[in-house]
Amino acid sequence: MYIYNVTTNIEMDIHDTWTQWMRQEHIPAVMATGKFLGAKMTKVLTEQEDGSHTYSVQYTVKDRATLQQYYQEDAPRLRKTAETLFGGAAFSFRTELAVVEEFQAVYPTATHLLFTYGTLQEKEVQLGVFSRTLLGMDDELSHYRISETKVSGLYPTLEYTNEGNDRIKGKVYTLAPKELERADWYEGEAYKRIQVTLASGKKAWAYMAINQ
């Protein structure tokens, strides 16, 4: 995952107009391109001697190829609008950041363990479902295998075999109750949530197809 960071210094006399435009028009327009997963607008707290303000907007994007596509298809138009409205009174510089690793605090209310073996391990899916990425631990589920029959012909599901040699490798995540509800929503009516015992001895939730 990458972060496209835009840092802008704003002269004092256009501050209110610029921040309103960013919130109501520019950032929504950037997100409407469909290239980015999310955006965060922050203000630098260091005071400037000339009374100007500095803001940083961080856009998350799944890969650099998508960011390059944004540069080619959307950036010239959006930058031209900003220059027309504010000219040199808003000076920006841009930085590309590669996410090396992410760490999350375990919430006090995060009491549910979820064993995953499919798309819920993907960071882009986690951001869409939970609004955060999850820190998972490797584990295994014995006496199950991935079924040859897929849900809607596309999505994997568990199949109970009662054979000790059958094992599924996956990731275990700790979720808050509300996040578990979001996982239920994501998996949809084609799946049911069951409780399983993992190779580590932990009891966790897992999803399998209703008809399994």
Token duo for residue 121: 């391990």
Question: Concatenated DSSP letters for 78-94?
Answer: HHHHHHHHHGGGEEEEE
Counting other chains too, the contacts that 29-32 makes at CB distance below 8 Å and 24 or more residues apart are 29/78, 30/59, 30/74, 30/78
Q: Find the mean pLDDT for residues 133-154.
A: 89
| Per-residue model confidence (pLDDT) at position 50 | 83
Cβ atoms 135, 104 nearer than 8 A: yes
- pLDDT digits 0-9 by tens, 27-63: 999 999 999 988 999 999 987 888 899 999 999 998 9
Give the single-character DSSP code of 22: I
Pair (55, 125) in one structural domain: no
Domain residues for the domain of 186 are: 112-209
Pair (167, 88) in one structural domain: no
71 part of a folded domain:
yes
Pair (28, 88) in one structural domain: yes
Stated pTM of the model = 0.54
Pair (124, 156) in one structural domain: yes
- Range list of β-strands (E), 44-166: 53-61, 90-98, 112-116, 137-142, 144-146, 158-160
Pair (122, 178) in one structural domain: yes
Cβ atoms 70, 60 nearer than 8 A: no
Token duo for residue 109: 């209310």
Pair (62, 15) in one structural domain: yes
CATH number at residue 6: 3.30.70.100
Q: Which of 66-70, 95-99, 102-106 has the lowest mean pLDDT?
A: 102-106
Higher per-residue pLDDT: 110 or 175: 175
| Per-residue model confidence (pLDDT) at position 154 | 82
Residue 190 has pLDDT above 70, yes or no: yes
Residue 109 has pLDDT above 80, yes or no: no
Phi and psi torsions of 148, nearest 5°: -70, -25
43 part of a folded domain:
yes
Q: Please, which residues have CB within 8 angstroms of residue 107's CB and are 6 or more apart in sequence?
A: 176
Query: Element (H or E) spanning 209, and its range?
Result: strand 203-209
| Per-residue model confidence (pLDDT) at position 110 | 63
Q: Find the mean pLDDT for residues 171-186.
A: 92
Pair (79, 27) in one structural domain: yes
198 part of a folded domain:
yes
CATH number at residue 151: 3.10.490.10
Distance separating alpha carbons of residues 99 and 82, to the nearest angstrom: 28
Cβ atoms 14, 65 nearer than 8 A: no
Cβ atoms 60, 2 nearer than 8 A: yes
| Per-residue model confidence (pLDDT) at position 108 | 56
47 part of a folded domain:
yes
Domain boundary among 55, 70, 98: 98
User: Sign (positive/negative) of CA torsion 44, 129, 31, 14?
Assistant: negative
93 part of a folded domain:
yes
| Per-residue model confidence (pLDDT) at position 106 | 55
Q: Which of 28-42, 104-118, 132-146 has the lowest mean pLDDT?
A: 104-118
106 part of a folded domain:
no
Residue 103 has pLDDT above 90, yes or no: no
Domain boundary among 44, 73, 98: 98
Pair (126, 171) in one structural domain: yes
Domain boundary among 98, 120, 142: 98
| Per-residue model confidence (pLDDT) at position 107 | 56
Please provide the distance, in angstroms rounded to a whole number, between the alpha carbons at the two ends of the chain: 35
Tell me which residue of 13, 71, 61, 14 sits closest to 40, measured CA to CA: 61
Q: How high is the mean pLDDT of the chain?
A: 90
Distance separating alpha carbons of residues 170 and 141, to the nearest angstrom: 8
Distance separating alpha carbons of residues 103 and 178, to the nearest angstrom: 20
How many folded domains does the chain comprise?
2
| Per-residue model confidence (pLDDT) at position 99 | 84
Per-residue confidence at 212, pLDDT binned at 50, 70, 90? Answer: low
